[in-house]
Amino acid sequence: MADQNTVRDEIIDELLGNTKSAEDLFGQEGLLKNLTKRLMERLLEAEMTNHLGYMKHAAEGKNTGNSRNGKTKKTVKTGNGNVEILVPRDRESEFSPVLIGKRQSRLAGLDDNILSLYAKGMTVRDIQAHLLEIYGTEISADLISTITDAVLEDVKAWRCRPLDDIYPITFIDGFVAKCRLDGRVENRTVYVVFGINMDGEKDVLGLYLGAAEGAKFWLSVLTEIKNRGVKDIFILCADGLKGLPEAVEATFPQTTFQTCVVHMVRHSLNYVPYTEKKAVAADLKKIYHSDTVELAEQALDDFEITWGEKYGAIVKSWRQNWEKIIPFLSFPKDIRTVIYTTNIIESLNKTLRKSVKNRGQFSTEDGLMKVLYLAIKGISKKWTFPVRDWKQALNQFSILFADRFPSKFLS
């Protein structure tokens, strides 16, 4: 191992040579760009050798019917700026390099960089300026648009992809994006359907641009999800979205609908001045942290005795929504902490909001979905582990939903 490290250091020393500054290393004529050029040309020569079947100047190449035929200059856009390379040719014009195709002028890595910047909310002009400033690579706005538009086919395939049979817990939440549709700028809500599958893995099931909430809209969303393969949802968690409970009843009649308790608390505290928010929030917490439904009802009665005269609207709201608030209290505490709040999806939505914030407005739904899809791809790379304590929750689901629980997941 020591000898290998010594060899590596010697190679590095030789490569660095007389470089004395960052400009010598990373500049427009620096070592990194020259090294990129040399490596690309070496790879292209190796590809030509593989294509012809013999090394350059080798005797076995005589009278084979094809041979090397000089080189052509080509400028390639890379993550290190524009690099001019020499591409080998063959006499029969049959050589088609894999590294950089005949009509290709940029490396795939550059496309990845552009898509990553686009997913982070940068506009086409922002990306253009960034690449020029950092890498010295001049790329037209049309080319950037072409690269990002190529994602649309992936977006369409992703939005229509088959889904799992069962998602034990599913969340629905939304956020607002500015869209210029039908000739005017307006706020439109993007609804995110987010599921946790039987393996405890997170998955965005779909994105939907809502014109208006209502049972008809939600029926179309849930029917599409069902048509894509979802046969059952144990628990569906959402904030008070108009018409959603009725649509859930129509499409997944066995699903338990759970109102987001955190949203209920936030809505309630809107009625309370700052000086009393802490005390009111503490008494509301006694309700949803109760061990049983009966104790929760008692805590609500106590809340009414203490605050009912002053904040009757809060008591009225909780009593009207009671049947949608309390379902989570029927579950063990390990499951409650996952289902009584939509915080898990709000964290995702925070990232998605950030991706669209700098865009100003979107002229088409495709443009909006393109940005969100790329953002989701970036986020999902971090979803490498199941949700916390999932095995224990799954065992409890197997008892609570015994008649619907697939046997292959039984431990």
Strands 232-238 and 256-259: parallel
Per-residue pLDDT of the chain (411 residues; tens, 9 = 90+): 444 444 456 655 655 666 666 665 556 666 667 777 776 777 678 778 888 888 887 777 677 778 888 888 888 776 666 778 888 888 888 888 766 777 666 665 666 777 777 777 677 788 878 777 655 667 777 777 777 777 888 888 999 999 999 999 999 988 888 887 667 778 888 999 999 999 999 999 999 988 667 889 999 999 999 999 999 999 999 987 889 999 999 999 999 999 888 889 989 999 899 999 999 999 999 999 999 999 999 999 999 999 999 999 999 999 999 998 998 898 887 778 777 766 677 778 888 888 887 676 787 888 888 889 888 988 888 888 888 878 888 888 999 899 999 988 876
Nearest residue to 330 via CA among 387, 389, 290, 283 = 290
Tens-digit pLDDT profile for residues 354-385: 888 767 678 788 888 888 988 898 888 888 88
Distance between CA atoms of residues 199 and 394, nearest Å: 9
Residue with token string 């109760």: 290
Residue with token string 């002009």: 125
- HSE at residue 302, side-chain half, CA atoms within 13 A, is 14
Q: Which pTM does this prediction carry?
A: 0.68
With beta carbons less than 8 A apart as the criterion, state whether 185 and 361 touch.
Answer: yes
> Quick one: CA dihedral 70, 72, 73, 76, positive or negative?
negative
Q: What is the DSSP string of 334-390?
A: HHHHHHS--HHHHHHHHHHHHHHHTT--BSSHHHHHHHHHHHHHHHHTT--SPPTTH
Instruction: Give the length of the chain.
Output: 411
Residue with token string 């041979």: 67
Nearest residue to 226 via CA among 255, 200, 202, 199 = 255
Instruction: Provide the residue type at 36 as one letter.
Output: T
Give the list of residues 6+ apart from residue 197 with CB closer than 8 angstroms, or none: 164, 166, 167, 168, 203
With beta carbons less than 8 A apart as the criterion, state whether 228 and 161 touch.
Answer: yes
Instruction: Provide the residue type at 392 as one letter.
Output: Q
Instruction: Output the six-digit token pair for 215.
Output: 């049972």
Distance between CA atoms of residues 255 and 124, nearest Å: 44
Instruction: Output the six-digit token pair for 170.
Output: 């599913």
